C-alpha cells in the first residue's frame, strides 16, 4: 500500500458485467429458466450421442472412461476450443456443461480470466477449481488424470480454495506471462521487437515493419486460420439462445449487454474512471510518491498548478494506443492469424449486417473499417477472417497494459481500454520511455501499441496517428508546423462528421484554412468554446493537462437495438427492466441522483425497415426529464418516473426503436442537493408527431402545402415579395415590434384575435410523492385551435402563437410542439396588417387537419395530469394544434435581419457560391424545386435557399437581440444544428452522419453498359454516372428508381442527356457512403442548374477552381 501504483490494481470490469458474462451467475426469470433446463437437457443428449459415435476413435477402453466423473465448464476462448474440449470429454467419458452450475461442474476450464471474474470465483466459499485446458489434453496424453495444481490459472494461484502447488513457485515467475505463452505457443522472450532506437528517423519517428510475410498466399496457413476462427465462433454459438429482441422476454437485456461491444467499451471507461477518481480524492498524505510522485501530488502540486500558475513549462506527453485492439487480441491467439486480414464481428455472414468492431491493418488495406457492416467488409475482402468477441481477454490485456503504464509513471490518464495519456515530463528521453513501454506491452500481451509524443496532448494525439501501426512518433513543438498545416480539419480531435462539414461549408478544410480565421471569427461562427478550441488546435496549442478523470456526473443505460414492442405494457415492462439495470449501476457506483431522463427513439414516419438486423433505423429522438425531491437509486422510483414520462409522451409503443434512462444530479456533486427543478426552460409533455422520412411527395414535402397553394392559386408570391419589401429597412431594434426571426414560431399581436387567447399561470408544486410536478393548466379556454395558453409573461398583452412547422418536425398536417424554444412576440409592423387574413386561413386549415386528441384522452386510466412529471403537463392547445405558417409571411423574416451587418454575420466566411443571393432576383416558384436535389446541396447553399424563401430553422437571426448589441454568430452557427425545413442536418435526418440506412450499395464500375441489367449505374461514387438502359427496360428514370430498391431517395439528381434509339443515357448523382456533401463542384453546379435558379446563384460556373 505504499506504492500508489498498487492502487491501480483495479478491477477493470464491473461486477454486473462479470456476472453477466459468467453464465452461472446470471439470474434468470422463470420462463428463461425453463428454457435453460430444456436446452441443457438437449445439449446433454446431443453430447452423449456424439460421444457414442466418436467412441470408435478411442481404441483403449480404459481411455473411454478416463474422465468419468469429471464435468467441465469452459469459460471464454480456449485452445483447444470449446468444441474440441467437448469432443475430448465425450470421447473419454467426461461431461461437458455448456452452462456453469456449481453443483454439476467439477472443473472450470479457462485460459484466461479477467480480474472481475477472478473476484467472483474468489468470493465463492468452496470454489470450483479453475484450470487451464492443458490439464485435459495432458491428462489424456498421460492416460491418467493429472493433478490440477500445475494447471491452476495463474490469476487464481493464491486464491483460497484453489489447489496449491509448492512446485508452482518455480513457474510463478513465469506466471504473469503464462497466458502469453498460450497466445502464440512461444516463449514470450522470443518475441523480440525490433530495436526501435536504431530504427529512429531524423524526426524521431520509427516504423517497425514486419519482415516480408510469406503468409497471405499461404493456403495451408489460411486454412488453419479459418479453421481456428470457425472454432472460436462456434464456441460462442454454443452459448447463444433464441433471445434477440425485446419481445423475447426480460432476459433480452442481459443477453444484449453481454454481447454489446459498445457497452463493453462504454462501461470500461466509466469503471476505470470511477476507480481513479476515488483514488484521487481518498489519497492519504502518507502515500508517498515513488517516481515521480503520486498521481495526486503530481497533479495537485506539480503540473496542474504549474500549468496554471508557473507559466508555460515545457511538458512531455505520451499518447499510447493499442493497434487495432480487439483484432490484435484475436490475432494473438494463434500465429496462423499473422499477416492475414482479420476483423472482429458477431456475424460472419456474407450478407450480414453485424458491424466490424476492429479490423487489423491487413484488413484495413482492403478498406475495412470499424463500424462497417460485415457484408461490406467481406465484399471488399472475401478472405477476411472473422473472429468473435472475447471481452474477457480484452480485459486481461487492458489490465496488463495499464500495469505497464503505471509502472512508468503514476501520471496516467485513461482514455479507454486501449488508450491512455502519460505525462512523462522530466522522466528522461520520451522516445526511450515510449519504446520501453511498447516493448513491454508487446512482451506481456503479444499485441502492438503505438505511441505519439508531443509537448501537449494535442500534438501527442496527432503523433499517434503518424506512429501507427506499431510505431512511435515525436512531434516537437519546434517542428509541428509541417505536420499540422496540411492536415485536414477532420483530423483534429473533436472535429467529427458534423463539424467538419460545417467547416467545409465555411471554406475551411485544412488546418491552414483554419489559421486564416481569427479566434473571434471562429468563436462567432461556431460558438465560444468550440471556436477557441479549434483556433488553439490549429495553432498547435492545447493547455489540457493529464489528470485523473473527474467524478462521474451521470449514469445511464440505454438500448437501441432489438427494440420492438407489441403494446404499451411491453414497453413499460422493458422500461422497468431498464430502470433495474440503471439502479444496479447506480448502486454499484455507490451513487444516487435526482434527475431522471428518459430517452426515446421513435421510428420516423415512412421510415423503411432498417437494413440493419434489428436496428433502430431512422428515428426521431426525444427526451424528457424529471427532477425529484430526494436522491434516489431505487428501481421503483426510476421505473415510476420513467413510466410517467413515457406515458406523457404518448408515443405509439409499436414505433419505439430505442429507449434509455439516465440519472444526473448525483449526490457526489454537492450542487445537486440544492438544485431546483422548475427553473430554466419550460418542459414539454407530448412528443412531437413523427417526422417524415423518404422521398418528398406533395403530401409530405415541407413545402408541399405551399406548392399546393401555388397550384390552387391561393399562394400569392406578391405577398411574399411585398412582405420582403416592407421588411427591407431591417430595423436594428426588432426586439419589441416587427417580425422576429425565430426558429420555431412567431407571436403575433393581432387585436381581433387577442380575445381568443387564454392564459394560465402554472405554479410548480410538490406532488405528494415528493416529485415536483406541475398543475394542469386547466382545460383550454377556447376551442379554437392554435390558441396557446401560456405563462409567457414578457408582454402585457395576450398573444396568439403562430407557428410554422418546426424544423425538427417538418410534417404538415399537425404541426409540432415547439422544441425547446419559447414563444416570441411579434406585433405591430406593417406586416401585421396583412397577416390576420392569412393567419385565419391557416387556422382554418389547421382545424381541418387537427388530429391530435386531447392529451387527457391519451393518458392511461388512473393517470391524472398531476401525475405528469417535471411540470410536464398537458400540451398547450397551441402545442397540439400549431398553425401552419405562411411562407409568404415568413418570406419577410429572413430579409428582416440587420441589413448588412447581419448579412455579413450570416454569411461570414461562406464561399462566394453561397454568399450570392440577391433579394432582387425573382425566386423560381417553389414547385420547380426538386426536393431531393435540394436535400443534396451543400449546407451553405441550402441555408441560402431557406433564407431566400423565408424558410428554415431560425438561421442566423438572433431572436432577442437588443439594439446595437452584437449578433452572436454562434446563433447563426446554430442554425446549422437546427433542422431547417429543408435542412435536416441532424436529428436522424438525412444530413446526419450517414449510417447504414443512408447508404447506397456500392456501384460496380464496369464497361459495356449495354450488357448491364437495367438500373445498374456506372461511374464513381460522386461523379456523374451513365445509366444505360437496355431494351425493354422501360423508362430509364423509372429504372433508376427501381434499380436501387428502397434507395431511390438517395438519388440526388438526374437528367437525361442523350437519347438514341431505345437507349437513353441519364446523368445521375448519387449519394454513396457519406459523400453527399462532398459533391464535386460540377455536380453542385449542375444541381443548381437543374433547379432553374437565378443565374447569379450559380457563381460556381465562373469560379470552378474554388472548391
Ligand X SMILES: Nc1ccn([C@H]2C[C@H](O)[C@@H](COP(=O)(O)OP(=O)(O)OP(=O)(O)O)O2)c(=O)n1
Partner DNA sequence: ATCCTCCCCTAC
Partner DNA sequence: TAAGGTAGGGGAGGAT
Residue 531 and residue 522 in contact, taking contact as beta carbons nearer than 8 Å: yes
Q: Which is nearer to DNA, 971 or 1070 (CB)?
A: 971
Catalytic, out of 419, 749, 785, 1067: 419
Residue written as grid cell 470511477: 274
What backbone torsions phi and psi does residue 205 show, to the nearest 5 degrees?
-85, 150
Q: Give yes or no for residue 322 binding ligand X (CB under 6 A).
A: yes
Q: Give yes or no for residue 399 binding Mg ion (CB under 5 A).
A: no
Q: Give yes or no for residue 357 binding ligand X (CB under 6 A).
A: yes
Of 84, 395, 419, 946, the one binding ligand X by CB under 6 A:
419
Listed residue (890, 940, 922, 880) closest to 706, CA to CA: 890
Q: Give yes or no for residue 321 binding Mg ion (CB under 5 A).
A: yes
Q: What is the x/- site pattern for ligand X, positions 759-778, by CB under 6 A?
A: --------------------
User: In whole angstroms, what is the distance from residue 499 CA to residue 505 CA?
Assistant: 10
Q: Which is nearer to DNA, 91 or 275 (CB)?
A: 275
Q: Is 419 a catalytic residue?
A: yes
Residue 107 and residue 71 in contact, taking contact as beta carbons nearer than 8 Å: yes
Q: Give yes or no for residue 808 binding DNA (CB under 7 A).
A: yes
Q: Give yes or no for residue 641 binding ligand X (CB under 6 A).
A: no
Q: State the number of binding residues for Mg ion (CB under 5 A).
A: 5
Those residues whose C-beta lies under 8 Å from the C-beta of residue 1014, and which sit 6 or more positions away, are: 1029, 1030, 1033, 1034, 1039, 1042, 1043
Of 47, 154, 326, 565, the one binding ligand X by CB under 6 A:
326
Q: What is the x/- site pattern for ligand X, positions 997-1036, by CB under 6 A?
A: ----------------------------------------
Residue written as grid cell 386561413: 841
Cα angle: 54, vertex 219, 347; to 5 degrees: 70
Scanning residues 205 to 244, which ones bind DNA (CB under 7 A)? Answer: 237, 240, 242-244
Of 273, 418, 997, 1067, the one binding Mg ion by CB under 5 A:
418
Q: Shortest gap between Cβ of 381 and DNA (angstroms)?
A: 16
Of 73, 132, 182, 261, the one binding ligand X by CB under 6 A:
261
Indicate the DSSP class of residue 866: G
Q: Shortest gap between Cβ of 866 and ligand X (angstroms)?
A: 44
Listed residue (886, 882, 788) closest to 838, CA to CA: 886
User: In whole angstroms, what is the distance from residue 352 CA to residue 379 CA?
Assistant: 11
Q: Give yes or no for residue 331 binding ligand X (CB under 6 A).
A: no
User: In whole angstroms, what is the distance from residue 545 CA to residue 253 CA?
Assistant: 38
Find which of Mg ion, DNA, ligand X, none residue 346 binds, CB within 5 to 8 Å per kind.
Answer: DNA
User: In whole angstroms, what is the distance from residue 513 CA to residue 326 CA?
Assistant: 36
Find which of ligand X, DNA, Mg ion, none residue 759 binds, CB within 5 to 8 Å per kind.
Answer: none
Q: Which is nearer to ligand X, 415 or 1003 (CB)?
A: 415
Scanning residues 467 to 506, which ones bind ligand X (CB under 6 A)? Answer: 468
Scanning residues 263 to 302, which ones bind ligand X (CB under 6 A)? Answer: 265
Q: Which is nearer to DNA, 517 or 616 (CB)?
A: 616
Q: Which is nearer to DNA, 31 or 837 (CB)?
A: 31
Q: Give yes or no for residue 370 binding ligand X (CB under 6 A).
A: yes
Q: Give yes or no for residue 445 binding ligand X (CB under 6 A).
A: no
Scanning residues 596 to 615, which ones bind DNA (CB under 7 A)? Answer: 597, 610, 612-615
Those residues whose C-beta lies under 8 Å from the C-beta of residue 665, and which sit 6 or more positions away, are: 593, 594, 595, 627, 672, 675
Q: Shortest gap between Cβ of 16 and DNA (angstroms)?
A: 9
Residue 1023: C-alpha distances to residues 934, 1079, 1105 (Å)? 18, 8, 17
Q: Which is nearer to Mg ion, 325 or 442 (CB)?
A: 325
Q: Shortest gap between Cβ of 325 and ligand X (angstroms)?
A: 3
The side-by-side arrangement of strands in the sheet containing 342-344 is 358-359, 342-344, 385-387
Those residues whose C-beta lies under 8 Å from the C-beta of residue 476, and which sit 6 or more positions away, are: 204, 454, 455
Q: Shortest gap between Cβ of 640 and ligand X (angstroms)?
A: 34
Those residues whose C-beta lies under 8 Å from the C-beta of residue 791, and which sit 6 or more positions away, are: 682, 759, 760, 761, 762
Scanning residues 182 to 221, which ones bind ligand X (CB under 6 A)? Answer: none
Indicate the DSSP class of residue 826: B
Q: Shortest gap between Cβ of 753 and DNA (angstroms)?
A: 21
What b/e readout covers 430-466, taking b as 16+ CB neighbours within 10 angstroms? bbebbbbbbbbbbbbbbbbbbbbbbbbbbbbbbbbeb
Q: Which range of residues in 316-324, 436-444, 816-824, 1086-1094 is near Mg ion by CB under 5 A? A: 316-324
Scanning residues 50 to 109, which ones bind DNA (CB under 7 A)? Answer: none
Residue 793 and residue 747 in contact, taking contact as beta carbons nearer than 8 Å: no
Task: Identify the helix (H) or strand (E) that includes residue 493.
Answer: none
Q: Give yes or no for residue 419 binding Mg ion (CB under 5 A).
A: yes
Q: Which is nearer to ligand X, 156 or 447 (CB)?
A: 447
559 alpha carbon, distance to own chain's centre: 12
User: In whole angstroms, what is the distance from residue 16 CA to residue 27 CA?
Assistant: 11
Q: Give yes or no for residue 958 binding DNA (CB under 7 A).
A: yes
Residue 130 and residue 121 in contact, taking contact as beta carbons nearer than 8 Å: yes
Q: Which range of residues in 264-272, 293-301, 332-340, 697-705 is near DNA by CB under 7 A? A: 264-272
Q: Which is nearer to ligand X, 93 or 454 (CB)?
A: 454
Those residues whose C-beta lies under 8 Å from the C-beta of residue 113, and which sit 6 or more positions away, are: 75, 76, 121, 130, 153, 155, 156, 392, 396
Task: Identify the helix (H) or strand (E) that includes residue 521.
Answer: helix 519-526
Scanning residues 809 to 838, which ones bind ligand X (CB under 6 A)? Answer: none
Q: Which range of residues in 150-158, 318-326, 333-341, 842-850 is near ligand X by CB under 6 A? A: 318-326
Scanning residues 654 to 693, which ones bind DNA (CB under 7 A)? Answer: 658, 660, 662, 671, 675-684
Q: What is the x/- site pattern for ligand X, positions 667-686, by CB under 6 A?
A: --------------------
Give catalytic residues, as residue numbers.
419
- Which residues contribute to the site for ligand X (CB under 6 A)? 261, 265, 321-326, 357-358, 370-371, 418-419, 468
- Which residues contribute to the site for Mg ion (CB under 5 A)? 321-322, 325, 418-419
Amino acid at each position: 500500500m505504499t506504492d500508489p501504483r498498487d492502487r491501480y490494481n483495479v478491477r477493470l470490469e464491473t461486477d454486473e458485467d462479470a456476472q453477466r458474462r459468467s453464465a452461472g451467475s446470471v439470474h434468470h426469470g422463470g420462463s428463461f429458466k425453463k428454457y435453460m433446463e430444456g436446452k441443457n437437457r438437449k445439449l446433454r443428449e446431443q453430447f452423449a450421442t456424439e460421444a457414442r459415435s466418436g467412441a470408435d476413435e478411442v481404441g483403449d477402453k480404459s481411455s473411454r472412461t478416463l474422465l468419468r466423473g469429471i464435468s467441465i465448464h469452459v469459460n471464454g476462448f480456449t485452445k483447444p476450443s470449446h468444441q474440441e474440449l467437448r469432443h475430448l470429454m465425450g470421447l473419454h467419458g467426461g461431461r461437458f456443461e455448456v452452462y456453469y452450475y456449481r453443483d454439476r461442474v467439477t472443473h472450470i476450464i479457462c485460459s484466461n480470466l479477467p480480474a472481475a471474474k477472478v473476484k467472483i470465483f474468489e468470493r465463492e466459499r468452496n470454489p470450483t477449481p479453475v484450470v487451464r485446458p492443458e490439464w485435459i489434453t495432458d491428462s489424456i496424453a498421460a492416460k491418467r488424470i493429472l493433478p490440477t495444481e500445475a494447471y491452476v490459472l495463474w490469476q487464481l494461484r493464491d486464491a483460497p480454495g484453489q489447489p496449491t502447488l509448492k512446485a508452482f513457485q518455480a513457474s510463478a515467475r513465469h506466471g504473469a506471462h503464462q497466458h502469453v505463452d498460450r497466445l502464440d505457443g512461444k516463449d514470450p522472450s522470443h518475441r523480440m521487437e525490433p530495436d526501435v532506437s536504431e530504427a529512429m528517423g531524423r524526426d524521431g519517428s520509427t516504423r517497425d515493419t514486419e519482415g516480408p510475410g510469406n503468409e497471405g498466399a499461404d493456403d495451408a496457413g489460411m486454412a488453419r486460420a479459418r479453421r481456428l476462427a470457425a472454432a472460436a465462433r462456434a464456441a460462442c454459438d454454443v452459448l447463444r439462445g433464441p433471445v434477440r429482441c425485446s419481445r423475447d422476454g426480460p432476459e433480452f437485456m442481459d443477453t444484449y449487454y453481454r454481447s454489446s461491444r459498445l457497452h463493453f467499451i462504454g462501461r470500461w471507461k466509466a469503471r476505470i474512471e470511477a476507480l481513479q477518481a476515488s483514488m484521487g480524492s481518498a489519497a492519504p498524505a502518507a502515500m508517498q510518491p515513488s517516481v515521480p510522485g503520486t498521481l495526486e501530488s503530481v497533479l495537485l502540486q506539480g503540473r496542474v498548478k504549474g500549468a496554471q500558475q508557473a507559466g508555460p513549462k515545457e511538458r512531455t506527453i505520451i499518447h499510447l494506443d493499442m493497434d487495432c485492439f480487439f483484432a490484435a487480441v484475436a490475432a494473438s491467439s494463434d500465429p496462423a492469424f499473422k499477416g492475414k486480414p482479420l476483423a472482429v464481428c458477431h456475424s460472419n455472414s456474407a450478407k450480414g449486417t453485424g458491424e466490424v468492431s476492429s479490423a487489423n491493418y491487413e484488413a484495413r488495406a482492403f478498406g475495412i473499417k470499424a463500424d462497417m457492416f460485415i457484408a461490406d467488409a467481406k465484399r471488399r475482402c472475401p478472405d477476411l477472417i472473422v473472429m468473435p468477441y472475447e471481452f474477457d481477454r480484452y480485459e486481461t490485456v487492458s489490465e496488463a497494459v495499464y500495469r505497464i503504464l503505471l509502472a512508468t509513471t503514476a501520471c496516467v490518464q485513461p482514455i479507454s481500454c486501449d488508450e491512455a495519456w502519460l505525462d512523462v515530463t522530466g522522466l528522461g528521453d520520451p522516445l526511450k520511455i515510449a519504446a520501453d513501454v511498447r516493448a513491454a506491452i508487446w512482451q506481456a500481451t503479444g499485441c502492438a501499441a503505438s505511441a505519439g509524443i508531443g509537448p501537449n496532448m494535442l500534438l501527442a494525439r496527432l503523433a499517434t496517428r503518424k506512429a501507427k501501426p506499431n510505431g512511435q512518433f515525436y512531434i516537437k513543438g519546434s517542428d509541428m508546423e509541417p505536420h499540422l498545416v496540411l492536415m485536414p480539419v477532420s483530423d483534429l480531435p473533436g472535429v467529427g462528421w458534423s463539424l467538419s462539414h460545417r467547416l467545409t461549408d465555411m471554406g475551411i478544410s485544412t488546418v491552414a484554412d483554419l489559421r486564416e480565421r481569427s479566434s473571434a471569427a471562429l468563436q462567432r461562427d461556431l460558438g465560444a468554446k468550440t471556436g477557441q478550441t479549434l483556433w488553439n488546435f490549429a495553432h498547435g496549442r492545447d493547455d489540457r493537462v493529464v489528470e485523473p478523470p473527474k467524478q462521474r456526473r451521470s449514469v445511464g443505460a440505454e438500448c437501441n437495438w432489438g427494440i420492438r414492442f407489441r403494446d404499451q405494457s411491453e414497453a413499460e415492462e422493458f422500461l422497468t427492466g431498464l430502470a433495474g439495470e440503471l439502479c444496479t449501476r447506480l448502486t454499484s457506483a455507490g451513487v444516487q441522483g435526482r434527475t431522471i431522463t428518459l430517452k426515446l427513439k421513435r421510428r420516423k414516419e415512412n421510415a423503411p425497415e432498417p437494413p440493419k438486423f434489428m436496428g433502430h433505423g431512422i428515428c426521431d429522438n426525444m427526451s424528457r426529464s424529471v427532477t425529484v425531491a430526494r436522491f434516489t437509486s431505487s428501481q421503483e422510483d426510476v421505473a415510476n418516473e420513467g413510466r410517467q414520462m413515457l406515458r406523457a409522451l404518448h408515443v405509439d409503443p409499436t414505433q419505439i426503436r430505442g429507449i434509455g434512462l439516465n440519472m444526473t444530479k448525483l449526490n457526489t456533486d454537492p450542487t445537486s442537493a440544492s438544485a431546483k427543478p422548475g427553473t430554466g426552460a419550460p418542459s414539454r409533455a407530448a412528443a412531437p408527431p413523427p417526422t417524415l422520412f423518404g422521398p418528398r411527395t406533395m403530401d409530405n414535402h415541407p413545402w408541399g402545402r405551399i406548392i399546393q397553394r401555388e397550384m390552387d392559386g391561393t399562394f400569392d408570391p406578391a405577398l411574399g415579395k411585398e412582405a420582403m419589401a416592407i421588411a427591407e429597412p431591417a430595423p436594428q431594434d426588432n426586439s419589441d415590434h416587427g417580425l422576429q426571426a425565430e426558429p420555431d414560431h412567431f407571436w403575433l399581436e393581432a387585436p381581433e384575435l387577442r380575445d381568443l387567447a387564454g392564459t394560465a399561470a402554472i405554479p410548480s408544486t410538490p406532488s405528494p410523492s415528493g416529485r415536483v410536478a406541475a398543475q394542469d393548466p386547466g382545460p383550454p379556454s377556447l376551442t379554437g385551435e392554435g390558441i396557446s395558453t401560456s405563462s409567457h409573461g414578457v408582454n402585457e398583452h395576450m398573444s396568439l402563437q403562430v407557428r410554422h412547422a418546426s424544423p425538427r418536425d417538418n410534417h404538415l398536417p399537425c404541426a409540432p410542439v415547439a422544441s425547446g424554444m419559447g414563444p416570441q412576440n411579434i406585433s405591430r409592423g406593417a406586416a401585421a396588417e396583412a397577416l390576420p387574413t392569412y393567419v385565419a386561413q391557416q387556422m382554418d386549415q389547421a382545424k381541418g387537419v387537427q388530429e391530435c386528441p386531447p392529451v387527457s384522452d391519451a393518458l392511461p386510466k388512473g393517470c391524472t395530469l398531476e401525475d405528469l412529471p417535471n411540470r410536464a403537463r398537458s400540451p398547450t392547445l397551441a402545442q397540439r394544434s400549431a398553425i401552419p405558417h405562411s411562407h409568404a409571411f415568413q418570406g419577410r423574416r429572413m430579409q428582416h435581419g440587420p441589413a448588412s451587418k447581419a448579412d455579413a454575420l450570416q454569411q461570414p466566411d461562406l464561399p462566394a457560391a453561397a454568399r450570392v443571393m440577391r433579394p432582387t432576383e425573382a425566386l423560381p416558384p417553389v414547385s420547380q424545386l426538386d426536393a431531393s436535389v435540394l436535400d443534396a446541396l451543400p449546407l451553405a447553399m441550402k441555408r441560402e435557399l431557406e433564407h431566400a424563401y423565408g424558410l428554415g430553422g431560425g438561421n442566423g437571426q438572433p431572436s432577442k437581440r437588443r439594439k446595437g448589441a452584437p449578433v452572436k454568430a454562434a446563433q447563426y452557427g446554430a442554425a446549422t444544428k437546427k433542422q431547417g425545413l429543408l435542412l435536416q442536418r441532424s436529428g436522424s435526418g438525412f444530413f446526419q452522419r450517414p449510417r447504414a440506412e443512408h447508404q447506397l450499395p456500392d456501384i460496380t464500375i464496369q464497361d459495356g453498359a449495354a450488357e448491364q441489367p437495367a438500373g445498374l449505374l456506372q461511374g464513381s461514387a460522386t461523379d456523374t454516372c451513365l445509366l444505360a438502359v437496355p431494351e425493354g427496360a422501360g423508362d430509364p428514370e423509372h429504372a433508376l428508381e427501381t434499380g436501387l430498391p428502397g434507395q431511390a431517395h438517395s438519388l440526388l439528381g438526374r437528367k437525361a442527356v442523350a437519347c438514341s434509339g431505345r437507349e437513353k443515357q441519364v446523368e445521375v448523382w448519387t449519394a454513396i457512403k457519406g459523400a453527399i456533401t462532398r459533391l464535386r463542384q460540377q455536380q453542385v453546379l449542375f444541381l443548381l442548374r437543374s433547379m432553374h435558379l437565378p443565374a447569379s446563384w450559380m457563381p460556381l460556373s465562373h469560379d470552378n477552381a474554388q472548391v
